[in-house]
Structure 1
Amino acid sequence: MEAWTYSRTGPYRQTLTLSTSHPYPTFPPKPPFPSTAPKPEEWILISVSYAALNPADLVALTSMPFFLHKTTSAVPCLDFTGVVLDVWSPTSSTPIFKKGDQVICTPPLPHLLSTGSGGLQKAIALPAKFCVPLPPSVPSIRDATGLFLTACTADLQVSLSNLRPGQRVLIIGASGGVGTMAVQLARCQIGPSGYIVAVCSGRNRDLVLGLGADEVIDYTQHPGPSLAAHLSQRFGEEEDKRFDNIIDTYGSQPLYTSCSSYLKPSGTYSAASIHYDSYRLWDLFRSVLTIASNTLWPKTPWLGGTGRTWKITSMMGATSEQMTRLSKMLGEGKLKVVIDSEWGWEDVHSALDVLGSGHAAGKVLVRVNGEGF
């Protein structure tokens, strides 16, 4: 079977290769089960339709120590859709899924580390609890690919911010995968009376306004420190123009350290990560140190802090409640997955190049089997 595999970390064009002899996925052993075995659960075999790439894939490929995996090789990608080929149920109860069902899937990182089995392969077997049905109203399975990692991260950021109707919100990195979801979810929380200012490239202005933003700040017109100065000038001089909350999907440390001039004292600065210019191990380590510093940094300004609450989003795996709720919102038209580009099965390296550029507007997809199976 064909799959993209790697057995060491490093530059992905050197380590990630297309295998034509990857083992076909299998189900767990049939009952009876040993007394020491974990409680059995339903598994499904899926023909993968599309895979959505995420920054977490770049971290895993280039900087995460490979010894964290329990397998000698691994297939990346935690975000994919597909069609159920077979169902394995350890009990006589009615299975969750049946053959032919279209599903949206996102196994958690610990599952990938223990099995080495991600979405960049023609077929995958995994526990059914990591998948939900494609809502019938969604016209194409492609339209749902990439929903969960981005939407669940944005959902956590919105939750940490405790958004309420009528609030003013600044969203940084608004045209990226998480950012496009954050704009939509924030609008749902603050309602029509709220106000969203989005920071993104000017070329994505119409896209972000169409998702629910009221105003766009083009960061390319305010390079480096001038962006923080511009935000302070535009929104810091009058109290009613300051933001109630800031959702930073990009991870800008300079904007956090300057936020006291345009974020209300009661506001929360919610970050999805800390941004650095590469995915090297050293930069990953620096990111961890910065997160620790921000978390422990005194909130009191006279002790050197910003005087504002800083929270980091930790999305190790989507909950069943999140997956069900967000897929329902997708089906109701309250959420949409913005797709930057779609790449062929043999073009994974090029797709990763686009993702790594940091300028993708929405999700970068890989067509595995496509709509057929």
Structure 2
Amino acid sequence: MIEIEQTGNHNLQQTGNHNLHEIPKTMRAWVHTRAGPARSVLQLRDEIPMPELPSQTSVLVRISHAALHPGESVMMNFIPFLFRKSPAVAETDFSGVIVNVGKDVPQTASTNLGSSRYFPPGTPVFGSIPVREHLKAGSGALAEYVAVEMNCIARKPDEVSFEEAAGLAVSGSTALTLIDEARLSQGQKVLVIGPCGGVGHFACQLARQAVMSDGLVLGICSSSKMNLAKRLGCDETLDYQSSPEQGGNSLVSSLVSRFGGDAEDNKFDVVIDSHGSQNLWHACPSFLKAGSDHPYVTVGPALQSYSVGGMLAVISRMLSNSSTPTWAGGVNREYNQITSFVTVDKLERLRKLAEEKKLRTHVGGVWEMEDALEVSQYVSSRFPSCYHVNALLT
């Protein structure tokens, strides 16, 4: 993960609890008033009005870190302001400390809500702004404060840093959905495409736990990420550009030579694609077992460019991958493109996994808030690749 952190007089890791008198009337935030790439539309403003609590079940969070992910770049580039509030604060994922709450927000643990669903001021939390509110209300995480409903946050585990917690919500929720749909079991062979990406590095860890020590997790990544992939749970790795240990063979050829052939038992049980590789989807009958119990689970085709043509190409591939029959040239395997949303259940699952040290956020870099444009360009430039890392701004 690459993050942007807040600095200055309100650094949460230094100040601890806040009282209401410390909350200013305005804040700094990166905003935009038209669609387009970050470098052209984002502006850092100093006098953005302090967000108000939208309801009695909402909280005001002083943001410590904001995590950047490619989905925000898609919205920023393609959604016109006819359909969103202006100015719009960028990004959705954050960590921070609660500084104010509505009167209906639980202040103490309750058996009805669960032992972790209480949020008095001073509580460290992580969470994500729902897309609907991000667009409708213009609220975002690339700011000093954010007001969200309490069902959009979870308590930050004590031994998890603000940097790590900020990257959990969207990428972690997407990884949970991938793993849920993969229906993994002990001893299976799993191919993970993009095991070091924002979503993929969570999915890789979860896949490792699901198949246990007698299963096999093979990751497809760049040669520079192979050591990281193995630390995340891969038993083996293949270079997505070529496979030197196979004499420079192409990726597909390397997979087929090792996991292909007529014997079904030699093939993978499941493919988890956190990138959206068209080539590997079309080639997967050569190395993925047949049948509904052996799905190709994916986040969907990768966007190759931030253009209308690029988006139309993605939509066309989505429809083709999911609906083209075999007799018309379709792939004879189950294609399962997921749709994922951040929910209370997923936030709590992520909190518990992180608390038990079963899920760790890989932080690829931390930037100051003033450097948001540089980081946004970094994330955007890596979105067409399956090996981007999410960004955190502090």
- Whether these two folds match at TM > 0.5 is yes
What corresponds to 1:254 in structure 2? 279
2:190 to 169, 188, 196: 169
Question: What's the counterpart of residue 204 of structure 1?
Answer: 225
Work out which of the residue numbers 309, 317, 330 in structure 2 matches 1:290.
Answer: 317
- In the superposition, relative to structure 1, how do residues 157 and 61 fare at CA in structure 2: closer, same or farther (>3 Å)? same
Tell me if structure 1 keeps the 8 A contact 2:129–2:141.
no
Which residue in the other structure is 2:3 paired with?
A: none
Aligned to 1:343: 367
Distance 2:196 2:228 in 1: 8
Alpha-carbon distance, 1:361 to partner? 5.5
Shift in alpha-carbon separation, 1:92–1:78, aligned structure 2, 3 A = closer
Note closer, same or farther for the CA distance 1:165–1:282 as it changes in structure 2 (3 Å cut).
Answer: same
Paired with 2:154 and 2:105, the residues of 1 have a C-alpha distance of 20
Deviation, structure 1 residue 93: 7.9
- Offset at residue 129 of structure 1 (A): 1.1
State whether residues 278 and 301 of structure 2, in contact with CA within 8 Å, keep that contact through their aligned partners in structure 1. yes
- Equivalent residue for 1:12? 38
Q: Deviations over 1:307-363 (max 9, x none)?
A: 100011112x21211110111100110000011111111111111122123266643
The CA distance in 2 between the partners of 1:90 and 1:275, in whole Å, is: 42
Secondary structure of 2:279's match? helix
Q: Provide the identity percentage.
A: 33
Secondary structure (helix, strand or coil) at the match of 1:22 reads strand
Relative contact order, higher structure (CA 8 A, sep 6+): 2
State the alpha-carbon separation in 2 of the partners of residues 244 and 149 from structure 1.
26
Letter in 1 for 2:312: F
Secondary structure of 2:89's match? Answer: coil
In structure 2, distance between residues paired with 1:121 and 1:9: 19
Aligned pair partner of 1:189 in 210, 230, 235: 210
Say whether residues 1:236 and 2:260 are aligned partners.
yes
- Say if 2:47 is the partner of 1:21: yes
Letter in 2 for 1:4: W
Larger deviation, residues 287-296 vs 43-52: 287-296
Indicate the SS of the match to 2:364. strand
Indicate if the aligned counterparts of 1:342 and 1:366 stay in contact, CA closer than 8 A: yes
The correspondence of residues 78-157 of structure 1 with structure 2, limited to 5 A, is 78-90=92-104, 96-138=118-160, 140-157=161-178
CA contact (8 A) 1:338 1:361 kept: no
Counterpart of 2:7 in structure 1 is none
SS for the counterpart of 2:47 is coil
- In the alignment, does 2:335 pair up with 1:310? yes
Contact (CA 8 Å) 1:144, 1:337: kept in 2 or not?
yes
Distance 1:93 1:99, change over 3 A: closer
- Native 8 Å contact 1:161 1:270 kept in 2: yes
**Mapped partners of 1:276, 1:112: distance in 2:** 22
Once the two structures are TM-superposed, the CA of residue 20 in structure 1 deviates from its matched residue by 1.2
Measured in 1, the distance between the counterparts of 2:258 and 2:79 equals 40
Asked if the contact 1:175–1:204 (Cα under 8 Å) also holds between the matched residues in 2, the reply is: yes
- Consecutive unaligned residues of structure 2, counting only runs of 5 or more, are 1-26, 109-116
State how far apart, in whole Å, the 2-side matches of 1:9 and 1:273 are: 23
Deviations 1:4-25 (A, max 9, x none): 0011111211101111111111
| Unaligned ranges ≥5, structure 1 | 29-39, 368-373
Moved more, 210-219 or 19-28: 19-28
**Helix, strand or coil for the counterpart of 2:351?**
helix
Q: How many residues of Structure 1 are paired with residues of Structure 2 in the alignment?
A: 351
Distance, in Å, in 2 between the alignment partners of 1:89 and 1:268 is 46
Equivalent residue, structure 1, for 2:352: 328
How big is the shift at 1:209?
Answer: 0.4
Distance in 1 between the 2:61 and 2:168 partners? 18
CA shift in 2, pair 1:226/1:68, >3 Å: farther
Distance, in Å, in 2 between the alignment partners of 1:254 and 1:92 is: 50
- 2:242 alignment partner, one of 204, 221, 226: 221
Structure 1 residue 90, shift from structure 2 partner: 4.2
8 A Cα contact 1:252 1:275, kept in partner: yes
Mapped partners of 1:335, 1:158: distance in 2: 13
- How far apart in 2 are the matches of 1:176 and 1:213? 13
Which residue of structure 1 aligns with residue 28 of structure 2?
Answer: 2
Q: What is the CA-CA distance between 1:176 and the residue it aligns to?
A: 0.6
* AA aligned opposite 2:57: E
Could you say if the C-alpha distance between residues 75 and 8 of structure 1 is closer, same or farther in structure 2, counting changes exceeding 3 Å?
same
Query: What's the counterpart of residue 76 of structure 1?
Result: 90
For residues 61 and 192 of structure 1, what CA distance do their matches in structure 2 show?
Answer: 42
Q: Structure 1 residue 62: deviation in Å?
A: 1.4
State the match for 2:5 in structure 1: none
Tell me which residue corresponds to 1:46.
Answer: 61
Task: Give secondary structure in 1 for the equivalent of 2:30.
Answer: strand
Comparing 253-262 with 280-289, greater Cα deviation is found at 280-289
Give 1:78 shift. 1.4
